[in-house]
Structure 1
């Protein structure tokens, strides 16, 4: 189901998504990209379409998604770029997409997300970042399990972040009901959940031919940062170790997602964490790279899956 050696590729931090798919033929494959109407989601969808896949952009704003789809078709010549409504914070919206999906699904890129937002809750009382970044994607992916299994070798891409180093999943108070709300801790917790999901999905579904991996796309200036001040962005640039030069373009930011989704170098590989188009190792103290041990903890991954199932059942 998985291999034990760390995956190495000829790509780097500067590689673009189009460079990753060069020579890869996805004709006959079907893909869904959440958040495909903007940012790295558009570039992920574009690269998959350029390689011949049928791509569905699952978006909250249909007008934005339709513009993105038309632009991808114009730039790639692939007219099999579709748009579907999806609000990950609305379980009825997630269920509607699942209900309308027919046939196999070869690639699911769980890309959409919100970052460091003010304290907001769903009607269920869930903290919005955890609800959107994790629970919505959990409901979508488990809902599409049959379609993924029917593909015979499906890949699930879980877009995480180096921000997962900020917080484990705090099972005792996931939704900040007793602890003070901190937007970055909430974001970090949701991004840890994205990694844990890939670990447990691979364990549960590997025998169905479904493998899931998580990744850090890199620092990219997109609408994701709409809640963050310029001063805070400057601090983030400084922490990244090299100023503005270390910020990626959206085309570079989508490269690791596309690698995880398509590269034959990852055949048989699941439950791993990638950054800059390479499999990452454990985080070293004082750095912002690699994965936190708690994000790859098998027991925590199983617990999160159970908690997530219970949350959706109760909703």
Structure 2
């Protein structure tokens, strides 16, 4: 198990203290809000050239200007990316030029009303998994140019269940928004398990993490009452507690920069350290099904087939 000395109270800037990312290039999806902003801030503070990939270009530009002023790093840029749109994702990857050292798959949607994308996919799985899957594969040549780390921001919500391969998009079962969110977050972990097998020789690693319970724009589809209920059920109010965005971004920076993760893939981290296996009855740790190599291989195959059928159509 990887232990780092960091914990719940650690902030993102604590993690990058003494870290030099000069000459390194990073992309942070969803970098214009929530923990994405703090992720960009920490990477820029450490000297990286950071691209904020955001749906709202204006919001991204405001964040970039603010962080350039705060960090003194002028190499913060903004590019359009809508993960729910395969056309947008492919355009971003196509327009990227040169090596990419850090890909932070941070953006996501949570507990949305039942919505289908133009492709007919359930929105949460389409955004949280398919969007990042297409993006990462589209950037493969840039990632392997010098070896890279891919960081998938997952959630303890993955404990709500595994991927239902028989009905990912709720064609035959009643839609339940938390269940749908949970399977998309399980997919984030499984992605790294299979990527490690396929891409290890290319020098690319991929790991996942739980940032913590944080009040951000991710909860925009919840009423205040629903949000408090989720916090209560998760144990955050008494056990995990609620983190600040600065604390919420810390584990992302651990996974992105710690030398202890060199060459490792398929791991899941929380509060700055590798998580223990979930034993049931607690909202912590990683579920065995989220690191099951057979499920990981099946997810990759289904993802490729789904995207290939889209291209063929």
Q: Report the TM-score range of the alignment, normalised by the length of the smaller protein.
A: over 0.9
**1:116-135 correspondence runs (5 A):** 116-135=111-130
What is the distance in 2 between the residues matched to 1:128 and 1:242?
26
Task: Select which of 211, 224, 228 maps to 1:217.
Answer: 211
The answer on whether the counterparts of 2:80 and 2:92 sit within 8 Å (CA) in structure 1 is yes
- 2:22 aligned counterpart, secondary structure: coil
Q: Partner residue of 2:224?
A: 230
Query: Is 1:171 aligned to residue 189 of structure 2?
Result: no
The answer for unaligned runs of 5 or more in structure 2 is none
What is the distance in 1 between the residues matched to 2:257 and 2:236?
30
Query: Is 1:186 aligned to residue 172 of structure 2?
Result: no
The answer on whether the counterparts of 2:124 and 2:184 sit within 8 Å (CA) in structure 1 is yes
The answer for unaligned runs of 5 or more in structure 1 is 1-5
Task: Select which of 135, 141, 144 maps to 1:146.
Answer: 141
**1:1-315 correspondence runs (5 A):** 6-152=1-147, 154-241=148-235, 243=237, 246-315=241-310
TM-score between the two structures when normalised by the length of structure 1 = 0.96
Shift of 1:10: 1.1
Provide closer, same or farther for how the CA distance between residues 172 and 242 of structure 1 changes in structure 2, counting only shifts above 3 A: closer
- 1:56 aligned counterpart, secondary structure: strand
Detail structure 1 runs of 4+ shifted over 6 Å in the superposition.
none
Q: How many residues align?
A: 309
- 1:171 aligned counterpart, secondary structure: coil
The answer on whether the counterparts of 1:240 and 1:246 sit within 8 Å (CA) in structure 2 is no
What is the distance in 2 between the residues matched to 1:299 and 1:242?
32
What is the distance in 2 between the residues matched to 1:175 and 1:226?
22
Shift of 1:149: 0.2
Shift of 1:228: 1.1
46-55 vs 258-267, greater mean Cα deviation = 258-267
The answer on whether the counterparts of 2:235 and 2:283 sit within 8 Å (CA) in structure 1 is no
The answer on whether the counterparts of 2:128 and 2:184 sit within 8 Å (CA) in structure 1 is yes
TM-score between the two structures when normalised by the length of structure 2 = 0.97
What is the distance in 1 between the residues matched to 2:90 and 2:267?
28
Shift of 1:242: 5.3
